[in-house]
Amino acid sequence: MPLLLLLLMLLLPAAPEATSSALLGISYGRVANNLPPTTSALQLLAGLGLGRVRLYDADPATLRAFANTGVELIVGVPDECLAAVSTPSGASSWVRSVIQPALPATKIAILTVGNEVLTGDNSSALSRSLLPAMQCIHDALAQLGLDKQVSVTTAHNLGVLATSYPPSSAYFRKDLLPILCPILDFHARTGSPFLVNAYPYFAYAGDSTSVDLEYALLEPGHGGVPDPSSGLHYPNMLVAQVDAVYHAIAAANRAAARAVEVRVSETGWPSAGDANETGATPQNAARYNGNVMRLVSEGKGTPLRPDGALRVYMFALFNENMKPGPSSERNYGLFKPDGTPAYELSYHLPKENTTSGAGGGGITVAGGNNGHGDGPQDAGYYSISASPKANVGWWAWMAARVAVLMLMAL
């Protein structure tokens, strides 16, 4: 038996998570009335070499479009659904009707219950439903035996911090501690990550005289900033923001701090903005997002957590013309709605940035429709992984090879 296990270990491919560039994903927001069909988005993802995507809702047609692609999804439970899923019956109904039918063809890894609930416009009304909704959805997944496959969390912005500089002095707002401390217990108990939407752009735009642009853009040539209390040196603002969250978690719940991983669920830089939006240019957006891709592909952690590779989702795939707020909100996309680049990225990911265990990486076109009702132009799906037939063939070859090696070992 030990010999058989050794042979299998030699023949099996390395897990995709072992490749550092596979830790990068992108947000696929759809607050727009001029976006192409999801099949076109899949082509762009393949061209970028991205195998992880964050969605902000659980639209069944969109989930079907990602079926059999190998793309790993974070799927959002919208804020307006929180009250409905904060009861056991509501959560069970939602999971059974929306999530379970999509599995396993669609690779759903994480459910985010709400987005920036604790700091949003409706925080007072939604905050009390947040943790019950997370717990009830987790329990509903557990009842179906899906809790090890799909984890449950929520995404916060840096507004949950009372202070973030230097990172070692960071702590959560005191008014949010009664909510955040039980949420941290939930993360520690279930093994789900703490998600944060981190934007160095906002720090720079808010105080461009004090914040160095090169530091905010993650430029590798910047000398960095020291943390006088911890003695750690921060080469760029993004890792400083992540470590600020780690320090805040430790200050609020030291037991949870040993178990909870912080991941960046959004980060980006706008390519255009209003006249008073300092730094919102195509050149800065290209530099920032290119540097994010480079940073994550290096597979390094943060100064405080150097042994755990940083996981990041860039924001966003497309410019979204219906997003409210200043002009910058409608200009975070790497692509325009017609599929042309909003700017030329300065860095391109290695080819191994995929979550598929099958190898390959070419786009496979197959029959079917993603459910948008867009007719012939939307027919088929684009697989970022190898085709199912190729997978079957590889496994058959491996089984035969193992059998031969076993006979030789007798």
- The one catalytic residue in 80, 219, 266, 320 is 266
Tell me whether residue 116 is one of the annotated catalytic residues.
yes
- The one catalytic residue in 80, 116, 261, 277 is 116
State the SS3 of the chain.
CHHHHHHHHHHCCCCHHHCHHHHEEEECCCCCCCCCCHHHHHHHHHHHCCCEEECCCCCHHHHHHCCCCCCEEEEEECHHHHHHHCCHHHHHHHHHHHHHHHCCCCEEEEEEEEECHHHCCCHHHHHHHHHHHHHHHHHHHHHCCCCCCCEEEEEEEHHHEEECCCHHHCEECHHHHHHHHHHHHHHHHHCCCEEEECCHHHHHHHCCCCCCHHHHCCCCCCCCEECCCCCCEECCHHHHHHHHHHHHHHHHCHHHHCCCCEEEEEECCCCCCCCCCCCCCHHHHHHHHHHHHHHHHCCCCCCCCCCCCCCEEECCCECCCCCCCCHHHHCCCCECCCCCECCCCCCCCCCCCCCCCCCCCCCEEEEEECCCCCHHHHEEEEECCCCHHHHHHHHHHHHHHHHHHHHHHC
Which residues are identified as catalytic? Answer: 116, 266
